[in-house]
Structure 1
Amino acid sequence: MKYICSYLLLFVAATSFAQSTKTINQSGNPIFKGWYADPEAAIFNNQYWVYPTYSARYREQVFLDAFSSKDLVEWKKHPYVLDTAAIKWANKAMWAPAIVEKDKKYFLFFGANDIQSDQEVGGIGVAVADKPEGPFKDHLGKPLVDKFHNGAQPIDQFVFKDKDGQYYLIYGGWRHCNIAKLNNDFTGFLPFDDGTIFKEITPDKYVEGPYMFIRNGKYYFMWSEGGWTGPDYSVAYAVGDSPFGPFKRVDKILKQDATIATGAGHHSIIINKKKDKYYIVYHRRPLGDKDGNHRETCIDELNFDKNGNILPVKITTEGVKAQKVK
């Protein structure tokens, strides 16, 4: 029996070591150390960037770190690119950043304070910097969205640039998703032709975490389903002809693998156009870990079939092969 126990201990140790290390040519998962969730991925200046939520108790979520990489394998940490010292109206739950470069400035959108009603201070804010690593400062001195519109909690923001150059804010928790047309300097919104500011585009089973991209002229709208602390957390998608849809749910494409990790969701996409490579960056939980805030940022390949359907993602411990932007 003692030999069997010794073998099992060695196997567990080897498995743990394999999951926490990376080779020269492979990213490994998670891609960097620490509890991080809701990753927003981008490419700036021929480098990959990831801006995640610091995954902790709400009162401890008072800053945002960023990570950069030249090859998806080696990641450099940029601590405290934004914190509540720069955002006077924010005091907790700084969540799910979204970032975009415009006019040689970097605009970092974030949720803060986890407001539960229109009477509370908080919502979606905007910070701005001259470099992707910050430091970022408050762009408005107040939230950009501080009320519930169409039932959507003002969290989980994503900024989408359409083919005509128009930027949209897509956001929403509490099972509702809105789209709004940003003005030129990101200080507010432009009304749609019917005079409304916030249009609801909520697809079936939507919960939170919206994301959108264009491929071959089609608009791919993605979101997270299930409960963020549970095993059913996952990502689904729809396809439309415009950023307004209508969006009919196609399928679930990211979910847990009970042999690798649990609760895989709240993602973003890296599109390397020069290499025609798509990567999904997301968070998941280590096997057997019951702490709701123990979430790790991971990366795996995103692929399509010949008809443009997104294929189910295989989550891995190996991650992806080294790939430079150019």
Structure 2
Amino acid sequence: MKLNRFILAFFLALPFFADAQTSGNPVFPGWYADPEAVIFGKTYWIYPTYSAKYKEQVFMDAFSSKDLITWTKHPRIIDTAAIKWANKAMWAPSITQKDGKYYLFFGANDIQSDKEVGGIGVAVADKPEGPYKDHLGKPLVGQFYNKAQPIDQFVFKDKDGQYTLIYGGWSHCNIAKLNNDFSGFVPFADGTTFKEITPEGYTEGPFMFIRNGKYYFMWSEGGWTGPDYFVAYAVADSPMGPFKRVGRILKQDPAIATGAGHHSVMHDAKKDLWYIVYHRRPLGETDGNHRVTCIDLMTFDKDGLINPVQITKEGVRKNKL
């Protein structure tokens, strides 16, 4: 009897058994990074950067799943043929649904100064899988404000329904209030449009969510091409801060993968399950663009602090919404 139990336990531990009930990491094949994960209705969606040389980053794919296990690829939901001012480096999509439309925010061209054309754009579609068309015909943010490179945008919807854009590279992060049709911004009470909310240690990749009335501001720090890439966070009573840094909660595991970072978070409110979706580099890969999209469970302690995330090969359990 003991031998039979041992044999059963052995086979249940094998990957092909585990894969039937867990997502596995990476969750889908291909080089993809900077994933924005979101729930629309009863479907999980992931919108990543196509991880390649800048001049090859001229399109974006999306992936959908009903259970976190089986993912469907939606190829080329947007490309530079639809965005005339974009020609390379389409990065870090962020998506939101409003008034029956889907708005995809993206970075393009990796501009290095105000003299170049590029920055953060907006595309719109009738379905989450697109196809997306240019919403403005020009960048939404096409210049540097407060020294923040206009990349790595995240669209945050506050409790009062206000949509804000949180973005920035080069170790600076801005927040701005979006207007009703996402064609521009509404100034703050003091007349300014872009306010810097950069927390200690910030490099890029901002993300924000609310839990129990607190605003959790997360970001990536370190070098994206190396193993020293992390996700850290801070907490505040307002999306404007001030944000008090808590610490790092996602990092590499030399036994599993390196370069873990640039993440997003999904919340199954009904079951109160939190998922962190991020990219990492498989062991042995030295090409900076060889990054894959992964998902692991994110939990909190009794004080509401985020527990350190254990990156895994197994991923997360099957979960239908």
* TM-score normalised to structure 1 length: 0.93
Identity %: 76
Shift of 1:114: 0.1
**Gapped regions of structure 2 (runs ≥ 5):** 1-13
* Matching residue of 2:179: 183
User: Is contact 1:63-1:80 (8 Å) kept?
Assistant: yes
- The Cα shift of 1:266 comes to 0.1
1:57 aligned partner: 53
CA distance in 2, matches of 1:37, 1:21: 27
AA paired with 1:159?
V
State the partner residue of 1:7: none
Matched, 1:321 2:317: yes
Deviations 1:65-86 (A, max 9, x none): 0000000010000000000000
Counterpart in the other structure of 1:66 = 62
The amino acid that maps onto 2:243 is F
Preserved CA contact (<8 Å) 1:152 1:173: yes
d(CA) in 2 for partners of 1:237 and 1:46? 28
Which 5+ residue runs of structure 1 have no aligned equivalent? Answer: 1-16
Partner residue in 1 for 2:125:
129
CA distance in 2, matches of 1:204, 1:48: 32
**CA-to-aligned-CA distance 1:266-294 (integer Å, 9 cap, x gap):** 00001110110000000000001100000
* Shift in Å, 1:22: 6.0
| Distance of 1:115 and 1:31 partners within structure 2 | 31
Q: How does 1:28-177 map to 2 (within 5 A)?
A: 28-177=24-173
1:21 is displaced (CA, Å) by 9.4
Distance in 1 separating the partners of 2:285 and 2:20: 28
Aligned counterparts of 1:21 and 1:312: Cα–Cα separation in 2: 27
Structure 1 stretches (4+) deviating beyond 6 angstroms?
none
Taking a change above 3 Å as real, the CA distance of residues 245 and 21 of structure 1, as seen in their structure-2 partners, is: farther
What's the Cα RMSD here? Answer: 1.1
Distance 1:210 1:186 in 2: 19
* Alpha-carbon distance, 1:248 to partner: 1.5
Among 268, 272, 287, the alignment partner of 2:268 is 272
1:157-213 alpha-carbon deviations (Å, 9 max, x no partner): 000000000000000000000000000000000000000000000000100000000
- Closer, same or farther in 2 for the Cα pair 1:186/1:232, shift >3 Å? same
Measure how far apart 1:45 and its partner are.
Answer: 2.5
Cα distance in 2 for residues equivalent to 1:254 and 1:288: 20
Q: Which amino acid aligns with 2:29?
A: K
Contact 1:56 1:293 in 2 (8 A): yes
Residue 234 of structure 2 aligns with which residue? Answer: 238
Give the counterpart of 1:209 among 201, 205, 215: 205
The 1-side partners of 2:162 and 2:277 are apart by 25
1:306 to 302, 318, 321: 302
Contact between 1:21 and 1:28, CA under 8 Å: does it hold in 2? no
AA aligned to 1:242 is S
Aligned residues: 308
Partner SS for 2:55 = helix
Partners of 2:318 and 2:83 in 1: CA distance: 36
TM-score normalised by L of structure 2: 0.95
